[in-house]
Chain A
Amino acid sequence: MALLLLADHDNATLSDQTAKALTAAKEIGGDIDILIAGKGAQAAADAAAKLDGVRKVLLAESDQLEHQLAEPLAALIESLAGDYDYLLAPSTTTGKNVMPRVAALLDVMQISDVMSVEGDDTFKRPVYAGNAIQTVQSSDSKKVMTIRGASFQATGDGGSASVETIDAVAGPGVSAFVSQKIAESDRPELTSAKVILSGGRALGSKEKFDEIILPLADKLNAAVGASRAAVDAGYAPNDWQVGQTGKVVAPELYIAAGISGAIQHLAGMKDSRVIVAINKDEDAPIFQVADYGLVGDLFQILPELQQKL
């Protein structure tokens, strides 16, 4: 069996979502190739080649692929699909954007957000915002799937696969990159952080969010998350949203401050190892999943915590 894993990267660096999806690929078993599609992406390809258990890295570079738009990227993956039984990608916004397009081009029903591998053709995945888990069996001859990173440990280094340059194929040419606003931050990435501090609507304003959450996050070396309510209210940018429709995370420590714990937020963080909830409402649902709770005013508790760390 042969598997092709689409890497998640920004040309310069490989995100650890790739290493997590690789673990799922290894559980399926077979020869695993990693595809790096981008431009000026040699560094990402070299990083992928070092991952344990990789047969080879395919590097495709072109102007069209630089920003990994779905249309040219899907055309590339479709052109490679003949050699593979499984086509996988991490459940990042890039993977979610491109893989269903690939699946439809191949007339395959995609398996989204795989959280465990039960067999060659059988997988578990969350539905209803994680309130139910389905075991599904695919009857398609090729399997196209996205992998939920929070459900798999990252595969470590230890390999020395070759990097093979392949031609990019011409896409349908119906899309073009215009611009991007990617936040520059020294803080860890949400989906790979060991500690996450998330703020909710109780912060009350963007100013308070920045004033109370950010310094404590820096003290904890934590990534910053937010509830949907906080993002909708403009306290935090969209890429900080934790939840079923935002990012699904599973850090060692998740601190939820002023977050009541809506179902869709819990779906995005309840696989964290240790959960701390700080909320003034003792009946808030967040306490039902928290290992440790503090009932009180976060404007007092968080600064005190920062001081005592």
Chain B
Amino acid sequence: MKILVPVKRVIDYNVKVRVKSDGSGVETANVKMSMNPFDEIAVEEAIRLKEAGTAEEVVAISIGPDKAQETLRTALAMGADRAILVKTDEIVEPLSVAKILKAVVDEESPKLVVLGKQAIDDDANQTGQMLAALLGWGQGTFANEVKIEGEKAEITREVDGGLQTVSLDLPAIVTTDLRLNEPRYASLPNIMKAKKKPLDTKTPDDYGVDVAARLKVLKTEEPPERSAGEILENVDQLVDKLKNKEGVL
């Protein structure tokens, strides 16, 4: 089977994000960008399914600016077979991303689409679920374990109370949670090889998808600051503060 893995280029998770002083967004100029960490887990899972003989081909796709090619090359260096860049300089909302992905799924006919559960920039946590809805497929979100058996996928999900396992008919959608796997680092030879792997470039227009935003961002601001308090000498002082000053004990 074929697996499609959408990946997003985001500000690297180690970068402390700075809000622009005019409230128009966050500073992205000269900031290190990387693949969304949840998407790395998705790429890793797809490659492991290929290595296990469950999948034959892993196709990575990114919707974003020209530079998202770098993110796709990372996926290729990890082990994806080929890549598709749907090029746009607009900020594309999850609903539009899901519509583009649906069009790609219609063309490529993968049995499984594995996505990160959320991107660490907009923290929306929507794309996988939306794609599942548009395709009428089952969804295994927040996956902690993925097992493919015949025409079914058994997905163990991280839920508020613990873990839940569901069985989905294939084709299906999986979104990854943190503990599904530990993504590999691409080796230098694989990074070199990835440069020669095929990468197609398309546009949202090729798929007939209007990417106009439905949510207008009016303002982006810093969260309220929380100031550092006091360092206490000992446990007695702490108990006293919590009991007598704060009344929380």
Contacts and interface: CB of A to CB of B under 8 A. Distances in A.
Interface of A: 10, 67, 69-71, 74, 92-94, 96-105, 107-113, 122, 126-140, 172, 174-183, 191, 194-195, 220, 228, 231-232, 237-239, 244-245, 247, 252-253, 263, 270, 273-276, 282, 287-295, 301, 304-305, 308-309
A100 B166 contact: no
B26 A128 contact: yes
Q: Interface residues of B toward A: which range?
A: 35 or more
B123 A113 contact: yes
B190 interface: no
A279 B58 CA distance: 44
B14 to A, nearest CB: 9
B178 A100 contact: no
Interface stretch (B47-55, B61-69, B197-205, B230-238): B230-238
Ranked nearest first, the 8 interchain pairs of A and B with the lowest CB-CB distance are: A109-B214, A100-B129, A104-B130, A104-B133, A291-B229, A100-B126, A174-B138, A175-B138
A48 B233 CA distance: 47
Given A70-B141, A97-B142, A174-B172, A108 B95 contact: yes
A142 to B, nearest CB: 11
Interface in B139-165: 139, 141-142, 144, 154, 157-165
Given A136-B218, A137-B215, A275-B226, 19 more contacts: A67-B164, A93-B157, A94-B159, A100-B127, A101-B133, A110-B95, A111-B215, A113-B123, A127-B26, A127-B122, A127-B220, A132-B19, A135-B219, A136-B217, A228-B178, A238-B178, A239-B161, A290-B228, A291-B230
B158 A93 contact: yes
A127 B218 contact: no
Nearest to A109: B214
A134 B169 contact: no
Contact of B123 (A112, A174, A180, A194): A112
B110 to A, nearest CB: 16
B108 interface: no
Contacts of B165: 177-180
B32 interface: no
A125 to B, nearest CB: 8
Given A96-B125, A112-B125, A137-B218, A180 B162 contact: yes
B124 interface: yes
Nearest to B161: A182
A245 B118 contact: yes
A152 B130 CA distance: 27
Contact of B133 (A74, A112, A245, A273): A74
B214 A100 contact: no
Contact of A232 (B130, B139, B179, B249): B179
15 contacts: A71-B138, A94-B160, A96-B142, A98-B129, A100-B124, A100-B126, A128-B11, A133-B222, A180-B164, A232-B178, A239-B161, A274-B248, A292-B232, A292-B238, A292-B241
Contacts of B124: 100, 110, 112
A129 B123 contact: yes
A137 B232 contact: no
B158 A238 contact: yes
Q: Counting chain B CB atoms within 10 Å of each CB, which of A71, A131, A134, A191 scores highest?
A: A134
A186 to B, nearest CB: 14
B208 interface: no
B186 interface: no
B239 interface: yes
Interface in B43-85: none
B93 A270 contact: no
A170 B26 CA distance: 44
A93 B130 CA distance: 15
Contacts of A102: 133
B206 to A, nearest CB: 21
Contact of B141 (A96, A182, A252, A293): A96
Contacts of A112: 123-126
B105 interface: no
Contacts of A138: 214-216
Contacts of A113: 123
A97 B228 CA distance: 36
A71 B130 CA distance: 11
A178 B166 contact: yes
A243 to B, nearest CB: 10
